[in-house]
Amino acid sequence: MQVWGSYQLENRTTYLWRVGRLMLWLFRDERQWFWSSTYAEQSVDEHPVVAEQVAEPADASWRRLITRSLSSQVVLAPVLPDRAVVVVPTEPLSIAAHAEVRLYFALPLWVQFRCGHALAELLGEFGVRPLSNTWLGDTFSGRLCYGLRTLMRYEPAEVRVCPGEALCSLQIQNLAEEAATLDKLAIPSDIMALYRQLVSPEDEKAYDMEKTHEALCTTGIQLAFGRDRELQVRVQPDQLVGLAAKERVTAPRVHLQDSVWHKSITLLKKIGEY
Amino acid sequence: MAGFPGMSAISLSDLFGPVWQPETVVAVAQVALLALALFAGLKICAYIIGRLVEKRFSRQSMMITRKVVTYAGSAAIVLIVLAQLGISLTGLLGAFGIAGVAIGFASQTSISNVISGLFLISEKSFELGDLIRVGDNTGVVLSIDLLSIKIRTLDNQFIRIPNETLIKSEVTTITRFPIRRMNFEFTVSYKTDLPALKQSLLEVVREIPQCLDEPEPLYVIKQFGLRGVDILLGVWFAREDFVVVKNTVHEKLLERFERDRVEVPVITVAPLL
């Protein structure tokens, strides 16, 4: 069942969405929008609940927004997490010297709700499941990221991608003279985009697309262990790795040209030229 | 007009008349206007320089720069005004020197505070907005001045701490680093299955999103105590999640102990704010 898209909500009616572990209720009273969210114990995985008319939940704590003009439309859009995600392979992963491999895993998404005139009002963003916090760096400095333990698969069709998740591809190249170990990897989700995946008929069968949903994938990540074992991560705009995209669904939160990372690299390049 | 015997009468105009002559009034007005313009210019300069410093450095640097510019500028303006009024600066500076010695003796504490303030500023132990603990007082730094710092305590009280006190005391900057560890110390009965307890505790921590996966939680069997086995569970968290982590971990630990029927004679927690 397709989660993403536009919905018309009747006045004074409560609607429920369930994606992953996220439960989200929406209620509209003319220009007033009320919403409440929580995480269920169990994930609904392949069977999301979409705009189901329900009774008002008993002990929900509501938030409220009054829009500028009357509109009954709400849009659910998929977005990538707002912080980098540190992915830790559940099985320790080593790549032999001079080997190259492509691995795939599912990345949980955030659900973005918009309403109001020209859908300009952001009701909120909710992760389809709560991700734990993790720290990238030492105890003096670093940055707060989300943590995700996942099994990295060799074939994209082997990855179980539920609604509310996107397929992420990772190309690893080991140029060093000895095996390289990947303990963890920070995925810069803020500079990555989301795409509607182009799936071949064979893969479609493997994915069982009819039963599930329209697949989403992210910008590809290229990773290289240099000869001196230095790690290089590269994310290029609109470049997918081992996957094909029909179209871009969501732009990156931070454009690469504006990102601090890109600015730093550009500055270093400029300094290097002189 | 009656007067004292032997004294001739002197009118007010005799005393102040020459001073209030039109030329003098115009000159004084000119100097007053000049002083006003200079002070206004100084305010604008201090503001602009402060903004520039804030953009490149920190809010604290901005505040210090603004104060230095204001004090130095004010002193310069006073000297300019005095020169314009025709008052000899040489004599005045000499008088200031003599007065300075006397004032110096009388204001040793203030001078000590000023010097301590300079050390504090150069040391950068904390910045504006940091949460610090000095003695029994914990609060957010509102301003760092030459004589004292001002903090707002967590229960919203304003406290002025002299710089000299700060130099002599142990100051803890609670918000210096972006992440912190909270230690939960408790004692479990000697009958407890310790490996199972460890798994259970780490599971509890993993279930709380605000507890960091990395650095990993710390589990230490501290010692065999009088009441049972003393356990330490250290949980890392982003400093802004202090209250959430403290409350949630306590709640979840109690739930888990009850579920797993772990006998806990005593629970304590550190650090305390």
Contacts of B173 in chain A (CB under 8 A): none
> Is residue B45 in some structural domain?
yes
Cα Rg of chain B (Å, integer): 32
Question: pLDDT at position B265, please?
Answer: 73
Examine the domain organization and report whether A89 and A208 are in the same domain. Answer: yes
Q: Which two tokens stand for residue A96?
A: 């032999």
Our CA-based measurement puts residue A6 at a distance from the nearest CA of chain B, in whole angstroms, of: 31
Examine the domain organization and report whether A170 and A223 are in the same domain. Answer: yes
Examine the domain organization and report whether A204 and A266 are in the same domain. Answer: yes
Instruction: Name B199's Cβ contacts closer than 8 Å, sequence gap at least 6.
Output: none
Question: pLDDT at position A23, please?
Answer: 94
Nearest chain A residue to B211, by CA = A133
Chain centroid, CA A62 distance in Å: 26
Backbone angles phi, psi at A117, to 5 degrees: -60, 125
Contact check, Cβ <8 Å, B238/A147? no
Question: pLDDT at position B266, please?
Answer: 63
Examine the domain organization and report whether A102 and A42 are in the same domain. Answer: no
Examine the domain organization and report whether B95 and B43 are in the same domain. Answer: yes
Chain B interface disruption, residue of A132, A141, A144, A150, most B CBs within 10 A: A132
Contact check, Cβ <8 Å, A132/B209? yes
Task: Tell me how far apart the alpha carbons of residues B21 and B33 are, in angstroms, rounded to a whole number.
Answer: 18
Examine the domain organization and report whether B75 and B39 are in the same domain. Answer: yes
Contacts of B237 in chain A (CB under 8 A): 133
**Residue tagged 């150069």 (tokens):** B122
> Is residue B261 in some structural domain?
yes
Examine the domain organization and report whether B208 and B163 are in the same domain. Answer: no
- State how many domains chain A has: 2
Q: What is the ipTM of this complex?
A: 0.76
Contact check, Cβ <8 Å, B214/A86? yes
Domain of B188?
179-270
Q: Work out how many CB contacts closer than 8 A connect A with B.
A: 45
> Is residue B2 in some structural domain?
no
Secondary-structure percent of chain A, ordered helix, strand, coil, rounded to 5: 10, 45, 40
Question: pLDDT at position B10, please?
Answer: 55
> Is residue B1 in some structural domain?
no
Task: Tell me how far apart the alpha carbons of residues B41 and B62 are, in angstroms, rounded to a whole number.
Answer: 18
- State how many domains chain B has: 3
> Which CATH number do you get for residue B195?
3.30.70.100
Chain A interface disruption, residue of B179, B245, B252, most A CBs within 10 A: B179
Closest partner CB to B177 (pick from A134, A139, A144): A139
**Chain B interface with A: residues with Cβ < 8 Å:** 177-179, 206, 208-215, 236-238, 241
Decide if A41 touches B, using CB distance below 8 A: no
Q: Is the peptide bond preceding residue A201 cis, with omega within 30 degrees of 0?
A: no
Contact check, Cβ <8 Å, A134/B213? yes
Examine the domain organization and report whether A155 and A211 are in the same domain. Answer: yes
Examine the domain organization and report whether B75 and B99 are in the same domain. Answer: yes
Examine the domain organization and report whether B183 and B169 are in the same domain. Answer: no
Chain A interface disruption, residue of B202, B214, B242, most A CBs within 10 A: B214
Examine the domain organization and report whether A229 and A141 are in the same domain. Answer: yes
> Is residue A186 in some structural domain?
yes
Q: Which two tokens stand for residue B182?
A: 């909270």
Examine the domain organization and report whether A45 and A66 are in the same domain. Answer: yes
Examine the domain organization and report whether B169 and B207 are in the same domain. Answer: no
Pairing of strands A194-198, B131-134: unpaired
> Is residue A115 in some structural domain?
no
Examine the domain organization and report whether B163 and B185 are in the same domain. Answer: no
Examine the domain organization and report whether A137 and A69 are in the same domain. Answer: no
Examine the domain organization and report whether B169 and B183 are in the same domain. Answer: no
> Is residue B64 in some structural domain?
yes
Contact check, Cβ <8 Å, B177/A140? yes
> Is residue B214 in some structural domain?
yes
Closest partner CB to A132 (pick from B177, B179, B213): B213
> Is residue B9 in some structural domain?
no
Examine the domain organization and report whether B162 and B212 are in the same domain. Answer: no
Examine the domain organization and report whether A57 and A100 are in the same domain. Answer: no
> Is residue A122 in some structural domain?
no
Examine the domain organization and report whether A57 and A138 are in the same domain. Answer: no
> Is residue A123 in some structural domain?
no
DSSP structure class, residue A62: P
**Which residue, of A77, A93, A116, is where some domain finishes?**
A77
> Is residue A119 in some structural domain?
no
Question: pLDDT at position B19, please?
Answer: 59
> Is residue A64 in some structural domain?
yes
Contact check, Cβ <8 Å, B214/A140? no
pLDDT along chain B (273 residues), means of 10: 51 57 81 90 88 78 81 87 79 75 75 80 85 94 89 95 90 93 93 93 94 95 92 95 95 92 72 55
Examine the domain organization and report whether A102 and A46 are in the same domain. Answer: no
> Is residue B4 in some structural domain?
no
Contacts of A144 in chain B (CB under 8 A): 178-179, 238
Examine the domain organization and report whether B164 and B208 are in the same domain. Answer: no
Question: pLDDT at position B18, please?
Answer: 58
Q: Which residues of chain A are modeled with pLDDT < 50?
A: 209-212, 270-274
Examine the domain organization and report whether B152 and B102 are in the same domain. Answer: no
Helix (H) or strand (E) holding A17: strand A14-19
Question: pLDDT at position A209, please?
Answer: 47
Pairing of strands A63-66, A93-95: unpaired
Examine the domain organization and report whether B203 and B189 are in the same domain. Answer: yes
> Is residue A113 in some structural domain?
no
Report the residue count for chain A. 274
> Is residue A228 in some structural domain?
yes
Examine the domain organization and report whether A20 and A144 are in the same domain. Answer: no
Domain of A9?
5-77
Average pLDDT, chain A: 84
